Amino acid sequence: MKSFNEMWEDLKPYLSCEKGLDEGYADGKYTRFFAKYCNHVDGIDISDDFYKQAIENLKDVPNVDLKIMDAVKTPFEDKSYGVVLCTSFHEFDLSGKEKFTMDLQLKTNILKEMMRLSDTIVFAEISPTNISGELYKIFNPIEDHSFRTEVSNLLIDKVLRDSGYTRIIEDYAVDEIKYNDEESFLEDMLSWWEEVKVPSNEKEKEEMKQQIATILETQNMLTDLTFHDIFRYTVYRKGN
């Protein structure tokens, strides 16, 4: 499997262009990488909170312009971007309401809007094998996050191929997120899905942390104090 840096090296030729669009920038972590390669990056996200976070986090990156906008319908002109980048975007609920339903029609509409905007589309979506699928069950036991991720990846592939795009890259990479100690690791894991569930008291919080620790340790992540965030990344292109 590729390292996180190797993934960016692979994607560099496709991200290097005059104007690119980052869909679902969240805290701006991936926007920062994108802006190293692309001369000007517009970013859109539906969330006011993430807008504030990303504005703060990217204030030292001059070639990024962030907006609050729904990806399903944008005011941009047809094919006005050299590339559209979507990272950890499509496996999520895209209604902005954090309902976590699998609305395939909504996802399809968002993909169509992406294709309207660019002939090159880059995805880095979490892999169905990502341990976050197991962790997610602690927050919502009836939600099969890995299944949703798998369906999203298949949908992306079908919709783009049906519209004449060719997948020119498909690979896997791991982003190694390191922590200083066990406590900050577990607290961070609790915060990843706090919009789904916040423990109602100290006892429940400790129980959830214990469950998280057990799952992480199945892959020695707690011993290593490193979360291995596994991505499947793809590049689709239409024309030459």
Chain residues that interact with ligand SAM, rule: CB under 6 A: 24-26, 29-30, 44-47, 50, 70-72, 87-89, 92, 94, 96
Token pair, residue 100, equals 């976590």
As measured in angstroms, the least distance from the Cβ of 172 to ligand SAM is: 15
Cβ of residue 97: shortest distance to ligand SAM, in angstroms? 9
Contacts of 107 (CB under 8 A, 6+ apart): 90, 94, 152, 155
Amino acid found at 3: S
Q: Measuring CA to CA, how many Å separate 72 from each of 81, 105, 110, 114, 130?
A: 16, 11, 5, 8, 27
For ligand SAM, give the closer residue by CB, 50 or 165.
Answer: 50
CA distances from 62 to 31, 59, 200 (A): 12, 7, 42
* Shortest CB 58 distance to ligand SAM, Å: 12
User: Least separation, in Å, of the C-beta of 71 and ligand SAM?
Assistant: 3
- Closest CB to ligand SAM among 88 and 146? 88
The nearest distance, CB 51 to ligand SAM, in angstroms, is: 9
Question: Which residues, 6+ apart, have CB-to-CB distance to 140 below 8 Å?
Answer: 100, 193, 196, 197
- Cα separation, 106 vs 94, in Å, equals 7
Residue closest to ligand SAM, measured at CB: 24
Residue among 2, 59, 68 at smallest CA distance from 32:
59
Residue nearer to ligand SAM on the CB measure, 213 or 230:
230
CB nearer to ligand SAM: give 53 or 213: 53
In the complex, least distance from residue 238 CB atom to ligand SAM, rounded to whole angstroms: 22
Amino acid at 119: D
12 vs 73 by CB, closer to ligand SAM:
73
Report, in Å, the least distance between residue 204 CB and ligand SAM. 25
Instruction: Give whichever of 72 and 102 is closer to ligand SAM, judged by the CB atom.
Output: 72
Q: Is-contact 232 175, C-beta < 8 A?
A: no
Is 53:25 a contact under the CB 8 Å cutoff? no
Q: Quick one: 104 or 217, whose CB is closer to ligand SAM?
A: 104
Asked if 27 and 57 count as a contact pair (C-beta separation under 8 A), the reply is: yes
